[in-house]
Chain A
Amino acid sequence: MITIHVRLFAAHRDIVGRAEMTVQQETGATVGAVWERLVAEYPSLGRYTGRLLYAVNQQFAEPGAVLQDGDEVAIIPPVSGGARRIEPGQVCNRFNPL
C-alpha cells in the first residue's frame, strides 16, 4: 500500500467537506484510481469525471500517471469564475456545479 495526499479545490471542497485528505492506495495505483475512489465515496463528484486538471507533486499529470508513496495529488475542477448568480428564468450555464 502507498499513502497519497489529496488536495481539493473549489466546489469539491464543499462536496467532500474538506480541502485535503490522505488515502491509502494499492502499490502502482494511478491518479485516475484516486479519483475513482473519491467518486465512489462522494457520488456528487462524479459529474466532474473527465473534466479535471490533475497535478502530482505540483506538476501537470495525466490520469494514467502511476503514483509513488507520499505523492501529493491536486485535483482541480474548472471554475467559471466571477460572482454572477442565476435568477429565475435566466439563461443558465449547465457546466456550473449544482
Chain B
Amino acid sequence: MSKVSLSNEEIARYSRHLIMPEVGMEGQRRLKQGSVLLIGSGGLGSPLALYLAAAGVGHIGLVDFDVVDASNLQRQIVHGTSTVGMPKTESARRRLRDLNPHIEITVYETQITSANAFELMRGYDVIVDGTDNFPTRYLTNDASVLLGKPNVYGSIFRFEGQATVFAPQQGGPCYRCLYPEPPPPGLVPSCAEGGVLGVLPGVIGTIQATETIKLLTGIGEPLIGRLMLYDALGMRFRELKLRRNPNCPVCGENPSVTTLIDYEQFCGIAPEAPAIGGQYVITPLELADWLQRDDRPFLLDVRNPYEVAIASIPGTDKLIPIDQLPERIHELDSAREMVVYCRSGVRSGRAVELLKQAGFRKVKNLEGGVLRWSDDVDPTVAKY
C-alpha cells in the first residue's frame, strides 16, 4: 500500500480515475507518490507535462535550457503567446501550476550533461526522453541503464513517430541494443530536417505519458520490448518486437560503457561548423554585386522544392536538392564559376565539399544562405 493519502479536494479532482478499478485509490496514491523527470519541455515534453500533471503525478521534474520562441507554439502546447521569450521551464511551470496545484514541480534550467545527469535523475522513479538530439539521447539512455531506471522513449520526424520503454532491468532492450553507437563523423546535418506536423508530438508524447502512468501504477502491459511506429499520413500504427542484445555496450553481458562519457564527442559534434577555405565562400553582398556583372556566376540552390515555394534568391539558375546531388553532379559544368546556397549555408557548405571532391574548383558557398541574404541584401525575401 502506498503511504500517501488523498485529500477530499484531490479525490474530487481525480474521481474519473478513482472509479476505475484498474486505478482506484491505490493507483492514484501511487501516482501521487511517483516522480518523473522530463528531459525536454518542447514538442514531446508539452503533452507529457500536461497529462502527467493532470493525472496527479506527485513530483514532476523539468529539464530544459531553451527559451520559448514563437515558432515553438505550432506544437509545444504547454507554452503560450504570453510566455514567448521566457525560459521554457518557467513557462511550463506556470501552466502546470495552474493545471494542478496539488503536485510538486521542480525545474532545472540547464542542459543535461555527463556531469549532472546522475544527480538530476537519481531522485526520480521514471525518466522520460523528450529530447531532440543524439548526444542527449545516448546520455539519457546510458544514465538510465546505469541507474536502473525505466526510460520512456519517444522520437518524431515530420509525419512519423516512434515510442517504446527501455527497461533492461525488466528484461527489455535499451536504446543501445538497437543502435549501439552513432555513425562516424563526417556528415553535416540538414536544416530542412526540422519539419514536423504540429500534432505529431502530441500523439507520441501522449503515448509516452500513458506508458509513464502505467509504469507508476503497475497496470496493463508496458511497452517494453516493443517499438511502436506511427505514420500520421497513412494513419497506421505498426509494432516491432525488439530484443535485448547480449553484446550491448551498456546493458549487455560484458558492458564497455560503465560510466558516462563525453556524448558530444561520441556523437561526432564539431566545435563549430566545418570550415571551408576562404576561396570557397562568398558573402551575400559580394554575390549581389557579382550577379549584376556580365561575368555573373551560375547560381545553384540545393534546398528542397517546398522551400523554394517559401523564398528564393532572384536569378537562381538551377535547383538540385542536396540529397540528389551525388547522382546529379553530371548536370553541372565544372568550368563555370558557381555559387551554391541553401537556407542557412550548412547544406550548401556540404554541397561545396561534394563538388570539390568531384573536381569542381570554381565553386563558392553563400555564407548564411537565404537568411543572411534577407538580412544583408533584400529584406523582402522571407526568412523561414
Which residues of A line the B interface, CB within 8 A?
7, 9-11, 14-15, 19, 43-44, 47-48, 50-51, 53, 55, 58-60, 74, 76, 78-98
B271–A91 touching, CB < 8 Å: yes
Q: If the complex has contacts A19-B234, A93-B268, A94-B269, are A80 and B137 also in contact, measured as CB distance less than 8 A? A: yes
A83–B43 touching, CB < 8 Å: yes
Q: If the complex has contacts A87-B344, A91-B271, are A58 and B239 also in contact, measured as CB distance less than 8 A? A: yes
- Which candidate, B15-23, B126-134, B252-260, B290-298, is the interface stretch facing chain A? B126-134
Closest CB pairs A-B (n = 9): A82-B132, A96-B189, A81-B155, A85-B194, A94-B268, A83-B196, A95-B182, A10-B157, A55-B240
Q: If the complex has contacts A76-B229, A83-B43, A97-B189, are A92 and B346 also in contact, measured as CB distance less than 8 A? A: yes
A96–B187 touching, CB < 8 Å: yes
Could you mark each residue 213-230 of chain B with 1 if its beta carbon is under 8 Å from any beta carbon of chain A, else 0? 000000000000001010
Q: If the complex has contacts A58-B239, A95-B182, are A81 and B157 also in contact, measured as CB distance less than 8 A? A: yes
Chain A contact residues, majority secondary structure: loop
Q: If the complex has contacts A58-B239, A93-B269, are A48 and B183 also in contact, measured as CB distance less than 8 A? A: yes
Q: How far is B40's CA from A83's CA once the two chains are assembled, in angstroms?
A: 12
A89 → B minimal CB distance (Å): 6
A83–B195 touching, CB < 8 Å: yes
Q: How far is B226's CA from A58's CA once the two chains are assembled, in angstroms?
A: 10
B272 → A minimal CB distance (Å): 7
B242 at interface by CB-CB < 8 Å: yes
Q: If the complex has contacts A60-B241, A81-B156, A81-B157, are A88 and B187 also in contact, measured as CB distance less than 8 A? A: no
B3 at interface by CB-CB < 8 Å: no
Q: How far is B42's CA from A80's CA once the two chains are assembled, in angstroms?
A: 14
B34 → A minimal CB distance (Å): 24
Q: Which among B137, B157, B181, B267 has the highest number of chain A CB atoms within 10 Å?
A: B157
Instruction: Given contacts A10-B157, A82-B132, A84-B194, list 17 more A-B pairs with CB under 8 A.
Output: A10-B160, A44-B323, A47-B187, A53-B240, A58-B240, A60-B243, A74-B238, A81-B132, A82-B44, A82-B131, A83-B196, A86-B344, A87-B344, A88-B273, A91-B271, A92-B270, A93-B269
Which B residues lie within 8 Å of A89 (CB)? 272-273
Q: How far is B43's CA from A60's CA once the two chains are assembled, in angstroms?
A: 28
Which B residues lie within 8 Å of A19 (CB)? 231, 234
B368 at interface by CB-CB < 8 Å: yes
Q: For A14, give the chain B residue with the smallest CB separation.
A: B323
The residue that B189 contacts in the complex, of A10, A14, A92, with Cβ under 8 A, is A92
